[in-house]
Structure formats: structure tokens, C-alpha cells
Amino acid sequence: MPTPIWRELFGQADAIAQLEQAVKTRDQGVQHAWLMTGPPGSGRSNMAVAFAAALLCAEGGCGTCRSCTLAMSGNHPDIDVLTTEKVGISIEEVRNLVLSAQMGGSMGRYRIMIIEDADRMAERSSNVLLKALEEPPTGTVWILCAPSEADMLPTIRSRVRRITLKTPAVEEVAQLLVERDSIDRALALTVAAEAQSHIGMARRLATSVDARGRRKDTLVAALDIDSVTNAMFTADRWIDLARRDAEALTTERDSEEREELLRVLGVEDTSKLPPYARADVKTLEESQKRRATRSLRDGLDRILVDLLSLYRDVLMLQLVAEVPLVNEGLKTQISSVANRSSAQQSLEKLRQIELARTRIAANVKDQMVLEALAVNLRTKP
């Protein structure tokens, strides 16, 4: 039976068993570098934090002691998390982390350094990290998170122990939403498919009518593109939808984090901040502000991922593949596009969407990328 710290992590029994084993045998030494790989939404970062918490807890992850509470709320002094607020991780950020790794733990025996999206490190930054992995100070544990092993330099790969997370099935995600969040079963199945098994996204689609509405508007707008004029209009519409979605998501997440911090600090009346809490709240607000700059780009990427699912559905109908559609709710419109175009054209559209994702990630101007994409997604009336 796993210790309680893993309770929130879902569908990853194999990974958890390996990490638990490492915690259980920590007195004989802990592997000093780990790589958690798995698709977005599989819970890579949460798994990394839970592992860090378990290593630092005297009980191996009780979930309730002071150390566990601090760790799970992101406030443990011996855990450093490098999250990417920018498109890439800068060499300075890695250098600072490496310096901080030299300090050793203040509360416990370990100092744990987590790098989320470690795949966003350019080669130069990776080399700085590599040095640190080659000569680790005792008690320092590095946890890197990335979509796949292939995203990391071979020199780094050879120094880490890999933990692979899997994508849960649509049915499993739906079950979780029913049990954990009391979501209606039919809705849970629909959103789990729409979110392509991304747990956080599925929950958001189930609980926010607005978020679900924006997703639908994005896809319907794409299916309706039949002329260049209409394509230009659609590109503007997508940017507007991405902006509104990013703003909503940022607001939701910011207030959740603030509540959690105040709870940890023991502030009961949240309307007036006691002086001792002000510095921590200010630090949180500053990091939230920095993060907001990346959120529009993430919003655009969500749109592109949704568009991929849409044209995959079109292609499935064209190939007469008997598989459930991701976007079952739009079946009529999807069939119509499938009838008016060829599988060859759908494949080309999928290729264009992937290209747009690469260009957005490479900082090409949003408007330009989306206009070009919209033109390529036209279907003759």
C-alpha cells in the first residue's frame, strides 16, 4: 500500500512503486538524478514534487506532517522548482539553480532540485547542468521532467534514472472525474476524450462552461473556413479566444495558489494580511506576474492541439476507421468537411498545424502564424 503522499497521482502505479522503493531504501543512498518522462497532463511535475516530499518526510511521505505540507504547497525550503516562464530556460536560471544546489538542505537531509520542462534547455544550459550532475554534492537530488527521453541530450540521459509515466485511458480519466470531482458520468467521458486524457484539462472542461464554450468556438470556426477573407477573420478570432482562455486560466490558478499559501501561513481572515505574511504573498504575486507572459503562448498551443484532434477526427471518418471521435459533439460538421475534402488534404492540414506549433514555439509572430495556418485549413464550400 503506497504512503498517502501519492494519493492524488492517478494511473501511475508502476512509476509510484519504483519511487517508493527508492524512498524505502534511501538510507543506503539515493540515485542523485532522475528523469520523469510522460506526455503533458500525465502529472510529471506533481510526481516530481510528491517524490521530493516523500524523500524529505521522516515517515516516507505521510502527507500530513509539516515537511509534507510545505512540500506539497510549494513552500518547502529544501525544494527548488525551476518552472519555465519563458519559452526557453536561460543559462542564468540553470546557473542559479546549480549554485543553490551546493547549499545543502536546511530542514532535512536532502536538497531537491526540480526542473519542469527540462526539454526547454538549450545545449549551453544543458552543459551547465551536466557539470552539476557529474559532481553532485551529497544529499542533492535532481529531478528533471520532460515529454520524452529523446528530448534530452545523450550526455544527460546517461546520468539519470528514468521514470516513465503513461497516458491514462479516456475511460480511466472519466472514472477519476466521477469519483474525485463528482462529475456526471456522461460529461466526464466526453471531456476526457476532448482533453485527450489530459487530467487537468478534462477537469477544467467539465467544471467551466466558458472554457468548454471557447474550445468549441475554436473548432467550429476552423471547420467554417471556406475563403481567404474568412481565414483572416478566423485567425483574429483564435487569438482573441486564446487570450481570453489564458486570462481565465491565470485568474483561476492565481487565486487557488494564493488561498493555498494563506492556508499554509495560517492566515484565517484573508481580507487583511498580517505583516508576517506580506513578503511571501508579494513573492508569489511576482512569480505569478512573470508566468502570465507565457500563458498566451500556452493558450495558443492548446488551440493547436485541439485543432490536431479535429482534423484527426476528419481523417478517421475519411478512412472509415471505426474509432470513437475525440470531438463526438461536432460529428455533423466534421462529417461535412470529411465529405468535401480528401484524406490527403487532411494529412496536409495536420502537417500545417504541427508546423504552426513549431513556429509559435520558436517565437514567430502569433498573427502571422495563425493567418497562414487558417488559409491552409480552408475547405471548399
Long-range (24+ apart) CB contacts under 8 A made by 92-99 are: 93/125, 94/121, 94/125, 94/128, 94/129, 95/128, 98/128, 98/129, 98/131, 98/132
Nearer to Zn ion, 62 or 264 (CB): 62
Does 57 bind Zn ion (CB under 5 A)? Our answer is: yes
Nearer to Zn ion, 52 or 206 (CB): 52
Nearer to Zn ion, 65 or 87 (CB): 65
Range in contact with Zn ion (rule: CB under 5 A) among 67-75, 210-218, 289-297, 324-332 = 67-75
Does 72 bind Zn ion (CB under 5 A)? Our answer is: no
Q: Which residue in the set 45, 65, 86, 233 belongs to the binding site for Zn ion (CB under 5 A)?
A: 65
Q: Which residue is nearest to Zn ion (CB)?
A: 57
Does 62 bind Zn ion (CB under 5 A)? Our answer is: yes
Minimum Å gap between C-beta 234 and Zn ion is 51
Q: Which residue in the set 19, 48, 50, 68 belongs to the binding site for Zn ion (CB under 5 A)?
A: 68
Nearer to Zn ion, 65 or 128 (CB): 65
Q: How far apart are alpha carbons 61 and 110 in whole angstroms?
A: 14
Long-range (24+ apart) CB contacts under 8 A made by 196-201 are: 196/41, 196/305, 196/309, 196/326, 197/41, 197/167, 197/168, 197/169, 197/170, 197/172, 197/173, 198/40, 198/41, 199/10, 199/41, 199/43, 199/168, 199/173, 200/41, 201/41, 201/302
Minimum Å gap between C-beta 17 and Zn ion is 19
Does 82 bind Zn ion (CB under 5 A)? Our answer is: no
Q: For the segment 177-216, give every residue that binds Zn ion (CB under 5 A).
A: none
Does 70 bind Zn ion (CB under 5 A)? Our answer is: no
Minimum Å gap between C-beta 80 and Zn ion is 19
User: Residue count at the site for Zn ion (CB under 5 A)?
Assistant: 4
List strands edge to edge, sheet with 33-37. Answer: 79-82, 111-115, 140-146, 33-37, 161-164
Q: How far apart are alpha carbons 248 and 244 in whole angstroms?
A: 6
Where along the sequence are the contacts to Zn ion (CB under 5 A)? 57, 62, 65, 68
